[in-house]
Structure 1
């Protein structure tokens, strides 16, 4: 599968897929992997959500088999996201100001690379006010 067409999944699912490919499992174990209690919760969740999106169960199972046992990547890890706080409007230099610090008193900078990166949107929203906005950025 082309790298651009890989499905983006959470790191936890990729960890489960890696453990299965390194373990002593084979395609006959797929039923247990998908439906077994506590065996692979991320894979089970992906499978259920995929089949709810009207993807055939056969296609979903085939993707797992290709990825785990045939060494044909079907998935890639979601890039970690962070959140920053910036001004809504730009200044006279056409630049946003970004919150730096994440503690009181806080500073601002025009350099986006120096902006404090919060792990969750909720953390960033604590520093939000009517003149700023919370923006998602790649790490």
Structure 2
């Protein structure tokens, strides 16, 4: 009898802790991934960015993020229209970023971004 009560108590304890763990609040996926990306991108010591460049890039990044979010939330556009506008926005963002950075920094940044894309593809292939 004591063993049965003990086992029931242990099972209920594990069940309760699992239920609490599932109720933990989660950030939105896009917000979480953007925050992770931001810090690593502009704080990379290999790029040798000046404080002014970092400030400009962070401000540009914030503005771009807000524009992309507004575009995603715009229900008046079709998915194809949204894709076209996002592609256009990314092109403008890249051009603006290249005006802030030196040629050498642009090359290093492009190499780092390409490396990140490869790591992402490798991770997806493993899943």
Task: State the TM-score bracket (shorter-chain normalisation).
Answer: under 0.3
Larger radius of gyration: 2
- Larger % of helix: which? 2
TM-score of the pair, normalised by structure 2: 0.24
TM-score of the pair, normalised by structure 1: 0.23
